[in-house]
Structure 1
Amino acid sequence: MKKASNLDQPPTPPKWGDKLIEWFCDPHLQEEVIGDLHERFHLRTKNRGIDKAKNLYIREVISYIRLSTITQKAAGYSSPLFLHPDMIRNYLTIAYRNLIRNKGYSLINIGGFAVGMAVAMLIGLWVWDETSYNKYHRNYHRIAQVLQNQTFDGEVRTWWSQAMQLAPELRSNYGDNFTYVITASWTNDRLLSVGDKVLTKSGNFMEPQISHMLTLHMLEGTREGLKEPNSILLSESVAKAFFGDASPLGQLMKIDHRMDVKVTGVYEDLPANSDFANLGFIAPFDLLVRSDDLEQKVGWGNSWFQTLVQIADNADMDKVSAIIKNAKKKKVTAEEGARFKPELFLHPMSRWHLYSDFENGKNAGGRIEYVWLFGIVGMFVLLLACINFMNLSTARSEKRAKEVGIRKTIGSLRSQLISQFMSESLLVALVAFTLAVVLVWLLLPAFNEVADKKIAIAWTAPSFWMAGIGFTCFTGFLAGSYPALYLSAFNPVKVLKGTFQMGRLATLPRKVLVVVQFTVSVTLIVGTVVVYKQIEFAKNRPVGYSRDGVFSISIKTDEVRKNFTAFRNNLLQTGTIVAISQSESPVTNTWITNSGFVWKGKDPNMQDEVVTMGITHDFGKTISWKIREGRDFSTAFATDSSGFILNEAAVKYMGLQQPIGEVVKAFGREYTIIGVVNDMVMQSIYEPVRPTVFYIDSFNRVGFINVKIHPQVSPKEALEKSEATFKKHFPATPFEYKFADEDFAAKYQAEERIGKLAAVFATLAIFISCLGLFGLASFTAEQRTKEIGIRKVLGASVLNVWGLLSREFVLLVCIAFLTAAPIAYYFLSGWLQNYTYRISLSWWIFALSGAGALLVTLLTVSFQAIKAALANPVKSLRNE
């Protein structure tokens, strides 16, 4: 039996005609109308031919749609049809069908959108956390810290610490301008003990009004509890650590085994995004004064404490700052006032976190720079996702040209078409937003760990959802605006006649957007590499001493200071360590500066300031510092108690040609320089080493024990022996240590964290860009299927086809690189100027970044190019 061919089958009308009837006509009449149209189409095909039948079919479809529109208006629909609820539903149905019909492109669109939104959300949460620092406190806008500028040798330096006498002075002579003026110590670790239970907790000694200045939510007791001379307020977590669920009120405690206090209140833990987040307890400042006999030890020249103020309700921050400007200058001697020019000013709480850097007495920014940086990065990453949507939507515009033409022919206004395409964009944005929220929820723990944050999504806060919906609508509008305007502008006559051509310039906007995408991506790559190299450069900078195997023990009790010698001797006998010493500051930091030094040849008008560190013998041996001239401190020389060892920066600062043997007057006595050591990086790793003087401590100010582990002993064994020896001598004091490497790492921790975040965002930016590139490459390969088939029939190789499809994208990435390089160079050069010790912007950094972007582009495009090149040309040409 003869097999039927396609020619034996009756012709059928275009399926899109039936779809239009379903979309626009009354649902109750759709079946009857479609049947009638098909019957007439078949009759005309037999009598007039298929071409004439199709033309008449199109006209009748349009007539039915117009009639249906008029009928629905007559039925009482006063608004245009596209605004009717049924049509809105139809629009969404069409959008849904388009997404399902083009699953690959939908996945790229929604996936890229979701990732872009997730990045923007994470950055938004980070920025919100940074900008909301300290807003927990009700008096946020009226609280400030008193800072002071002093002039040293022509350079103005800003100090955060003040004399203990400043607060009483401000209360006495400037009291009308303030509600509260408070002296406070610095928040540090202290030993708290209840019976045999001893824990190290962070806290502060403050004057009683602090409980009114700060917003403390009291869970037990009252905020007036600090008025008792030997009282203590505990945070909720500290109270639970000691007393569990029992009430701590009235319980007796000890601070550092020497200050007896009674618990008079418990307050709720302060939030993580607060400068007082670690405030585990508050004790009266007067208790510290009495315990350490500070009234006899400190004066206006000892800037050891903080001064916090809350200005009066009717006062202006700037005006009050100007009023107190000379408050300290009036109290110091005329000579000191003339030499150092101390000037006070108020630094508002609203600027503590983001504007903490000062240069030459003026605020020079701070973390606000990172807030702006990541805010801009977030906007650009979101823009990349929007560009993907625009590119893929316009690239596939030929597929929807007939739809636009039919809609315009039946009377749709351009505004109606724009609404249709915008609704599709909003649907994509809504789905992407849902996925983005899930992504953020999954990634937030890891993000918090990298960013050192405790950010949480406020699921129950209406503001979060309002912001999310608003953000989604804005993103959907941004992404859909260009495709909507572009697609709605098609000429219906040319589209329906089949003469519509996209034109050579039609792809120009897509090319521009691809260039923008990769310009942003390459800039982020270069920035990430530069940040990484700068951190590595600073980390590997010669520090002038050895941190290997060195750990420190903080001295928190007097018994450790008094019995140090016995502990030292016993620990050395274990054979696990090679040296042990004490110092005022940690090995990797210095906290004390002094002035008033006098040496031979000093300019009488010079306002000197040098870093000073009291140490014990063997400090140099402990950290393996390098003696450049002279000798180290030694117990064999009794005169070393009045000896100085200077670093190279101090020798240069003093202008000493032959420093050994020179006499320097300081601390009311004479010291002889016995040695010079190489400069040691003990402050910022990004700044020059400051002039430093080391001397044998005779003021009993040492606060740290420094231990050097024997090179042939494992750290675990050394720590076990050290802890056992420590507990033997100081059973009531916890053995707590910190390795010097860990302390040193803290110096570049902030920059390293920023570098990691930048690397993550740069990677995601490249991923989003590649998603869009993958979609465009897929569309290009699909569009040129027949061309590729002809080329292969004529003998083109896979390599030829791959080059054909890849050439355009490679060119676009190269243009993006040439655009990104000068932009990155300009901004990164400015960023590096903030560091005295910095890398140079070498050409290879830009070349490596550009090569990386090019390689990723080739890998992305090659999949589709090779797939198209390997396709069977018979399949692509069989319909020709």
Structure 2
Amino acid sequence: MFKNYLKIAWRNLLKNKGYSAINIGGLALGMAVTLIIGLWVNDELSYNDYFSKKDRISQVFQSQTFNGNTSTGPAIPRPLEMGLRNGYMDNFKHLVMSSWNNPLYLNYKEKSLSKTGNFMQEEAPELLDLKILKGEKNGLRKINSIMLSESVANALFGDEDPIGKVVKANSQYDMEVTAIYEDIPMNNSFHDLEFIMPWEKYLTVFEWIKNAEDQWGNNSFQMFVELADNTTTDQVTASIKDVKKNLNKETAEFNPQLFLFPMKDWYLRDSFENGKQVGGRIKYVWLFGIIGAFVLLLACINFMNLSTARSEKRAKEVGIRKSIGSHRNQLIYQFLSESFLVVLFAFGIALFIVLLSLDGFNDLARKEITFPWSNSFFWLISFLFVLFTSLLAGSYPALYLSSFKPVDVLKGTMTTGKYAGLPRKILVVLQFTVSVAFIIGTVIVMQQINYAKNRPVGYDKEGLIQIPTMSQDFQGKYDLMRREFLESGAAIEMSASSSPTTQIWSNRSGFNWEGKPDGFQEDLAWTEVTPEYAKSLNLKILDGRDFSREFATDSSAILINESAVKHMGLTDPVGKYLRDDDTEDPNPPLKIIGVVQDMIASSPYEPVKQGIYAYDKEGNVSFYNLRLNPDNSASENITTIEGVFQSHFPDIPFQYDFVDAEYGEKFAAEERIGTLSAIFTALAILISCLGLFGLTSFVAEQRQKEIGVRKVLGASVFNVWNMLSKDFLKLVAISCFIAVPISYYVMNGWLQDYPYRVILEWWIFVLAVIGALAITILTVSFQAIKAANSNPIKSLRME
């Protein structure tokens, strides 16, 4: 019986090739989009699944309150380690202190690489359950040991056995390779952990870290934990919540609240607002999940519309089958089998589309998604997906067509009724409501991105590069390198700074100044710079003067930005002094000599943070900032700079970043979302137009005799076009009326996540409505004009 159903279904597909192509093509596009989105959503939801202890691993976070505003983050003070070890270790199986990601130069013989890794305590490999390929899992026991990822080991040693070999790190210290671990995949929080070095080494290499042993106010470290078997995240959080406040009264004024942030939330739910978890990237998972569902729904609506619209063509077939004894359920199975066959064909084409587009999608989404050929669960889900889509697309046509009465059909007295076309109209309205909402949403996302992009940056980022100087080899060589870079003609100015231009690496508080309100808790970004910093960035001095090497007193001088003036409540800041009362042996007061224009150093969607630029006295800068010579090409300048660099640092790989490219990375996540939304919106509109095209062609075919009569009686092409088009335009207008308020509500809520955001303008919605109507007119006009220009004799002579 089922075989017979499939035969009839196949014949119907071949008999109506045009409608079959529209049905299959629309479904294939919808299913391809849904499949790609499904793979993306699965990749997002499986983030950190590589770690077998994902459900038991957490990071220690803290919330602190400054002047009523609570900020939350993973930065913790070093003394907290002993505070937890001494009184709370029953809650933990492992506790691991860690640095932030550190870029280091690794040298072996003639090879020199710049890689990123962490200094971590001995239990780190066990906590992360790293897959050890060579060597020992407990590879951090010795202070001079290093564990390398497989790719780094291959790059450094090639075919040599790396275990026991000595690698020089930052041209300073020799490290023995004790283990090689499997590269951590892309969709994991530690995917850039290319090496691990012992925490004890970290303490000996950097003096300030060693001194931070009892500095509760120095939040410069990370801590990862694995929970004990008999505890939960909430239980441990409740236990340690006030540990910092209880152990150190000096920081109690900021009301520090500790809590465990579980690994399962690190990626998707990492946003906090006033101390409360408020979501994060999970909103995009929901967004694209909904988009995928709606795109598939649009494709299914096409199938329903075309199948029910062509019901009169199948009416006699239904009448005859019923008259010779077919039951309604048999007819339902027949039409569902046709639906299944269409969906099966569409699924095959969809798989082909996915395979062709997956590489491009990965590049766009910055993913490494592979097609799960060998995953039986995927194929089970795919089968259920095909079955579900078949039922969704075929259920209404099956129930509708099987309900025809054989007597009425065979007598030719069957009428469709006044409201017979109402379901089709409702489905068309639903299709274009979704499409118009997608258009509005995409326009607003792109407008928000451009709004932030066009925000004044505060400095000239064009033609500015930064070179990392993390090695001790750079110590004391700033003046020499500046002189040589300038003399080479490739740079017209150079400075150095303790933070990259596009980030804030350090924050400080504990300052006092004249007029400071009682109880005021300042929070200031801190960057140490050389005197040429403002000049190299073209950073405007608004009040006072810049640093100068001619004034010896400038070693205790500072520049502050506009936001700092407002934050600190200063009316005439130049000449005022700041005293750092947090240190046991206070340095000389810091004199404000100038106010610089606000520059965006963190998120372009956030207000500029109040900041201090201090004169670098120690030479412990982390970046060279070079303003390229505009009279030469960028490539020529870079080649010259590289030559100068390598002449002084032959064992260090030359690295640089264009600041404008680094700044552009701040928009990368939103731009990817915007681009993907635009693509999916275009596909949704295409699918809707396919359905509209099919319906228009059917209506034109159905009314060809009426069109012939009208033309014989003198109707113009415009009259016929208007007759065929106006009903569809009315439906799309209704769609716009529904979509506009829904889109406004949703997108206004989305924009609330951005303090610096675009204002929703009326023209966005008008533009979307005009666009939808224009698309409808173009789609309908092709068939309408074709029908209007047809020869009326051909349609009337059959009578």
TM-score (norm. length: structure 1):
0.89
Aligned partner of residue 133 in structure 2, secondary structure: strand
Alignment of 1:797 with 2:716, yes or no, is yes
Aligned partner of residue 752 in structure 1, secondary structure: helix
Which residue pairs with 2:761 in the alignment?
Answer: 842
Which residue, out of 312, 333, 344, partners 1:419? 333
Give the conservation status (yes or no) of the 8 Å contact 2:573–2:592. yes
C-alpha separation in 1, matches of 2:99 and 2:459? 32
Q: Deviations over 1:412-449 (max 9, x none)?
A: 22222111111111111111111111110100001111
Q: Deviations over 1:743-793 (max 9, x none)?
A: 101111100110000000000000000000010001000000000111111
Aligned partner of residue 821 in structure 1, secondary structure: helix
Segments of 5+ residues of structure 2 without an aligned counterpart are: none
Give the conservation status (yes or no) of the 8 Å contact 2:522–2:568. no
Which residue, out of 564, 580, 584, partners 2:498? 584
Which residue, out of 8, 18, 36, partners 1:104? 18
C-alpha separation in 2, matches of 1:166 and 1:89? 72
**What aligned pairs does 1:588-737 form with structure 2 within 5 A after superposition?**
588-666=502-580, 668-669=586-587, 670-737=589-656
Instruction: Report the residue type matching 1:98 in the other structure.
Output: N
Instruction: Report the residue type matching 1:585 in the other structure.
Output: S
Which residue pairs with 1:759 in the alignment?
Answer: 678
Alignment of 1:145 with 2:62, yes or no, is no
Q: Runs in 1 of length 4+ with deviation above 6 angstroms?
A: none
Give the conservation status (yes or no) of the 8 Å contact 1:521–1:762. yes
Which residue pairs with 2:663 in the alignment?
Answer: 744
Aligned partner of residue 141 in structure 1, secondary structure: coil
C-alpha separation in 2, matches of 1:335 and 1:450? 48
- Cα offset, 1:300, TM superposition: 2.1
C-alpha separation in 1, matches of 2:511 and 2:85? 34
Which residue, out of 573, 582, 590, partners 2:487? 573
Which residue pairs with 2:478 in the alignment?
Answer: 564
Alignment of 1:314 with 2:249, yes or no, is no
Alignment of 1:126 with 2:40, yes or no, is yes
C-alpha separation in 2, matches of 1:793 and 1:552? 77
C-alpha separation in 2, matches of 1:636 and 1:554? 28
- Cα offset, 1:848, TM superposition: 1.2
Alignment of 1:324 with 2:243, yes or no, is no
- Cα offset, 1:620, TM superposition: 0.2
Q: Deviations over 1:558-593 (max 9, x none)?
A: 121321211111111122211101101111221110
C-alpha separation in 1, matches of 2:396 and 2:650? 74
C-alpha separation in 2, matches of 1:675 and 1:607? 23
Q: Deviations over 1:645-681 (max 9, x none)?
A: 1111111111111111111112623011111111111
Alignment of 1:164 with 2:78, yes or no, is yes
Give the conservation status (yes or no) of the 8 Å contact 2:94–2:226. yes
Instruction: Report the residue type matching 1:740 in the other structure.
Output: V
Instruction: Report the residue type matching 1:851 in the other structure.
Output: I
Structure of higher CA gyration radius: 1
Instruction: Report the residue type matching 1:564 in the other structure.
Output: Y
Give the conservation status (yes or no) of the 8 Å contact 1:588–1:683. yes
Alignment of 1:343 with 2:257, yes or no, is yes
Aligned partner of residue 247 in structure 2, secondary structure: coil
Q: Deviations over 1:93-123 (max 9, x none)?
A: 0000000000000000000000000000111
Worse-superposed segment, 403-412 or 204-213? 403-412
C-alpha separation in 2, matches of 1:647 and 1:673? 11
C-alpha separation in 1, matches of 2:477 and 2:649? 9
Aligned partner of residue 632 in structure 1, secondary structure: coil
- Cα offset, 1:522, TM superposition: 0.5
- Cα offset, 1:397, TM superposition: 0.5
Aligned length: 792
Which residue pairs with 2:698 in the alignment?
Answer: 779
C-alpha separation in 2, matches of 1:353 and 1:777? 47
C-alpha separation in 2, matches of 1:682 and 1:126? 31
Worse-superposed segment, 729-738 or 371-380? 729-738
- Cα offset, 1:604, TM superposition: 2.2
Give the conservation status (yes or no) of the 8 Å contact 1:166–1:307. no
**What aligned pairs does 1:9-88 form with structure 2 within 5 A after superposition?**
87-88=1-2
Give the conservation status (yes or no) of the 8 Å contact 1:192–1:199. yes
Give the conservation status (yes or no) of the 8 Å contact 2:107–2:651. no
C-alpha separation in 1, matches of 2:536 and 2:608? 20
- Cα offset, 1:126, TM superposition: 0.6
Which residue pairs with 1:295 in the alignment?
Answer: 210
Give the conservation status (yes or no) of the 8 Å contact 1:392–1:772. yes
Which residue, out of 377, 389, 403, partners 2:291? 377
- Cα offset, 1:172, TM superposition: 2.1
Which residue pairs with 1:825 in the alignment?
Answer: 744
Give the conservation status (yes or no) of the 8 Å contact 1:563–1:729. no
Q: Deviations over 1:140-159 (max 9, x none)?
A: 10000000011111111112
Which residue pairs with 1:251 in the alignment?
Answer: 165
Aligned partner of residue 148 in structure 1, secondary structure: strand
Aligned partner of residue 586 in structure 1, secondary structure: coil
Which residue pairs with 2:348 in the alignment?
Answer: 434
Instruction: Report the residue type matching 1:831 in the other structure.
Output: W
Aligned partner of residue 562 in structure 1, secondary structure: coil
Aligned partner of residue 673 in structure 1, secondary structure: strand
Q: Deviations over 1:831-879 (max 9, x none)?
A: 1111111111111111111111111111111111111111111110001
C-alpha separation in 1, matches of 2:227 and 2:523? 33
Instruction: Report the residue type matching 1:248 in the other structure.
Output: P
Give the conservation status (yes or no) of the 8 Å contact 1:300–1:331. no
- Cα offset, 1:282, TM superposition: 1.1
Q: Deviations over 1:216-256 (max 9, x none)?
A: 11111121122122111111111111112332111110111
C-alpha separation in 2, matches of 1:647 and 1:229? 42
Alignment of 1:393 with 2:312, yes or no, is no
Give the conservation status (yes or no) of the 8 Å contact 1:259–1:291. no
C-alpha separation in 1, matches of 2:707 and 2:476? 88
Aligned partner of residue 363 in structure 1, secondary structure: strand
Segments of 5+ residues of structure 1 without an aligned counterpart are: 1-86
Alignment of 1:770 with 2:689, yes or no, is yes
C-alpha separation in 2, matches of 1:268 and 1:818? 55
Q: Which has the higher contact order (CA 8 A, sep 6+)?
A: 2
- Cα offset, 1:166, TM superposition: 2.1
C-alpha separation in 1, matches of 2:82 and 2:123? 13
C-alpha separation in 2, matches of 1:591 and 1:559? 22
C-alpha separation in 2, matches of 1:356 and 1:676? 35
C-alpha separation in 1, matches of 2:19 and 2:414? 24
- Cα offset, 1:700, TM superposition: 3.9
Give the conservation status (yes or no) of the 8 Å contact 2:104–2:471. no
Which residue pairs with 1:36 in the alignment?
Answer: none
Worse-superposed segment, 767-776 or 712-721? 712-721
Q: Aligned Cα RMSD in Å? A: 1.1
Which residue pairs with 2:437 in the alignment?
Answer: 523
C-alpha separation in 2, matches of 1:165 and 1:601? 33
Worse-superposed segment, 572-581 or 366-375? 572-581
C-alpha separation in 2, matches of 1:456 and 1:245? 28
Q: Deviations over 1:265-324 (max 9, x none)?
A: 111111111001111111111111112233224522211111000001111110011101
Which residue pairs with 1:363 in the alignment?
Answer: 277
Identical aligned residues as a percent: 52
Alignment of 1:859 with 2:768, yes or no, is no
- Cα offset, 1:699, TM superposition: 4.3
C-alpha separation in 2, matches of 1:792 and 1:505? 28
C-alpha separation in 1, matches of 2:83 and 2:579? 32
Instruction: Report the residue type matching 2:534 in the other structure.
Output: G
